[in-house]
Amino acid sequence: MLRFGRAVFFGFALAGLAMTAVAQRYTSPPADTSVTIEGKHIKVDYYAPSAHGRKIMGGLVPYGEVWCTGANWATKITTDADLEMGGLKLPKGSYSIWTLPTEKEWTLIINRQTGQFHLDYRQDRDFGRTKMNLKTLSSPVETFKIQLSADGGNKGTLALMWEKTEVSVPFTVMR
């Protein structure tokens, strides 16, 4: 009976170690940001990965390839108003957001499809693309962050921040 007891104890100990390893795996929890401009609600739902010491730009976020702009499921923007976003005239509704990063410039991609897994980008569903403003941050951002801000009147900004990179695009709520 003692041998059985040790085997059971050993089994529980291994199971405990395995559960600890799973708990230490990197996760990308759901996050969101929203803003109301001119009485119209704009919201972005995304999953927020963290750096955990990894090289992000040009590493985890590869240059020259379409990135899902977050993790897990495609980032979704929902707007109650028609928007003009960096030259794109975006009708009210829901879209997925993707980006095409390079060292020198980023392109925002608005896609008509929503709800897709982060590797399931379909270019044939693109609504349009526009350039983003790129700047280097003075201190690193550990966890990927999307921010919507009101800039006065019917103007706003969509910004993405991670590591020491911030990219943004202005938008206008159409009247």
pLDDT tens sequence across 68-101:
999 999 999 999 999 999 899 999 999 999 999 9
Which domain range does residue 24 map to? 2-173
Is it the case that residue 172 has pLDDT exceeding 70?
yes
HSE-CB for 148 with a 13 A CA cutoff: 23
Residues making up the chain, counted from first to last: 175
Task: Provide the percentage of residues in the chain whose pLDDT is more than 90.
Answer: 82
| Between 17 and 149, the higher pLDDT residue | 149
State whether the Cα torsion 15-17-20-24 is positive or negative. negative
Q: Please give, one letter per residue, the 3-state secondary structure of 86-140.
A: CCEEECCEEEEEEEEECCCCEEEEEECCCCCECCCCCHHHEEEEEEEEEEEEEEE
Q: Which of 31, 25, 60, 63 is nearest to 47 (CA)?
A: 31
Which residue matches tokens 């957001």?
Answer: 97
End-to-end CA distance of the chain: 79
Domain count across the chain:
1
74 to 26, 120, 161: CA distances (angstroms): 18, 8, 17
Averaged pLDDT, 131-150: 98
Provide the pLDDT for residue 140. Answer: 96
